[in-house]
Chain A
């Protein structure tokens, strides 16, 4: 029975912890204390619910319990302060009145969770710390769950979170909504953290698995929460659209032996239509919300072209090439440029694509990037320049770290030689 209660408490925690911690941070002004109080309430639930049964409103129960603990903690702190004052210095003329935390906690403040997200993704923290803190405080994941998701040791994550909270306290980061230009910059950091979590799930950098769908789902949940908190922000909808559309391909992205299956070879019947529908709706929302599409929405729009197409041949490559061009203008990068070259070659022929790729040869950022010679080899082959193509495939094979990919590239190189 206790295991059953444990699962219920876990579920309630996942549903309520962000609201709980953010309200407690608002009244105590201390994110570390807020998390402790919320944890205390959770422990109380684990002790009490097996006997009393799960209350009808478990979220309200946790909040009420945390509220009592908060008031207790305040009184203890005050008592301690008074004793210290008696021992040493003079008693302060005016003892601070006990703030009405109980009443403050009853207030429902819509933006509390948003403030919590902004704090967890604060720029004073390292990226790793932001990711861990966001998953812990906003996502309600346990340290153990975060450690497993990122394949790092549990104490490492625990340390990261402790240090992050200390950094926030030391920097006196206030629990408030950033205003004006600050808001846009801080929102950018939030979007980056969410997309980092998503990408770690989508193309895992650690471990044997190519994808970790649970992390993708967690990032998508955070994105959806954020989209409801900031409905007027086009890029938030853009990021949600991008994640929904990319995640729609997860079922087709892994082959029978766990091998990666890239977009052109995917079985489109396996794409998740529910997520595609949601992605297209979110993209529509991004477009309606304001002005020119930002980088996330542009990438989502590219994904939408693939999602709408029945096959590689049916894809609107002209539109994709134009979207890559817009993306390259908004956030120029050699990788975007390489993708644009592929789209251009599909839309206008291999010669047009090769022209763009040639301009990238020698760019330092792409020096060890195996996709550059791989794409170039492919275009050369289409143009019948077999010897050059073979050299490019061999070069690509020598710079990839993925065994399966290396084998594939060497096969292609051999094919150039065989029929050339």
Chain B
């Protein structure tokens, strides 16, 4: 199953304060660990919202572009990872190791219509059994 880990913005990220050399090194080591474990699909840091924009759809086919920055810092994001893991607990355990100090992460499962569920778990078995039953019905068995 695939998860997006969202790094919430704060005053520093919104002010464009760059990470120190040590912070960069720690984050580099953490990312390396994720890559070496085969779980990291993607991950990026974002520029402050002052460099971004929002597009509003008015419901009548019209659009308005609103330039950043945006005020509600806590609602903004500063970066993300996309991880492929076997359970929600696994992504949580990975992210507990992330080298943050004052920060908040949000973990969200990526929706996939064809996701057959948790890798090799009872849920998958239940689903397989349903599919098997369906297949048997179709074969007239």
Contacts and interface: CB of A to CB of B under 8 A. Distances in A.
A388 interface: no
A109 B38 CA distance: 18
B90 A11 contact: yes
Contacts, number: 86
A208 B41 contact: no
A221 B39 contact: yes
Interface in B72-116: 82, 84-90, 92-94, 96-97, 112-116
A186 B89 CA distance: 35
Nearest to B119: A214
A217 B84 contact: yes
A214 B124 contact: yes
B37 A258 contact: no
A228 B132 CA distance: 38
Given A12-B93, A15-B37, A218 B119 contact: yes
Given A218-B119, A258-B135, A228 B93 contact: no
A250 B120 contact: no
A149 interface: yes
Contacts of B15: none
B138 interface: yes
B36 A251 contact: no
Interface in A214-230: 214, 217-218, 220-225, 228-229
A141 B87 CA distance: 13
B35 A15 contact: no
Contacts of A229: 36
A208 B135 contact: yes
A11 B125 CA distance: 19
Given A15-B90, A254-B114, A270-B114, A228 B135 contact: no
17 contacts: A8-B89, A10-B87, A11-B86, A11-B92, A14-B86, A14-B87, A14-B90, A209-B131, A214-B116, A214-B119, A214-B124, A225-B38, A228-B36, A250-B114, A258-B131, A258-B138, A274-B82
Nearest to A213: B116
A187 to B, nearest CB: 17
A145 interface: yes
A282 B85 CA distance: 20
Given A214-B116, A223-B38, A11 B135 contact: no
Interface of B: 35-39, 41-42, 82, 84-90, 92-94, 96-97, 112-116, 119-120, 124-125, 128, 131-132, 134-136, 138-139
A403 interface: yes
Contact of B134 (A148, A228, A258, A270): A258
B35 A7 contact: no
Nearest to B136: A208
B132 A208 contact: yes
A58 interface: yes
A12 B93 CA distance: 7
A257 interface: yes
Contact of B114 (A10, A14, A251, A257): A251
Nearest to B116: A213
A127 interface: no
Given A10-B89, A15-B93, A208-B132, 14 more contacts: A8-B93, A10-B87, A56-B96, A141-B120, A148-B120, A149-B120, A213-B115, A217-B84, A220-B38, A221-B37, A225-B37, A228-B38, A251-B114, A254-B114
A12 B124 CA distance: 20
Contacts of B97: 57
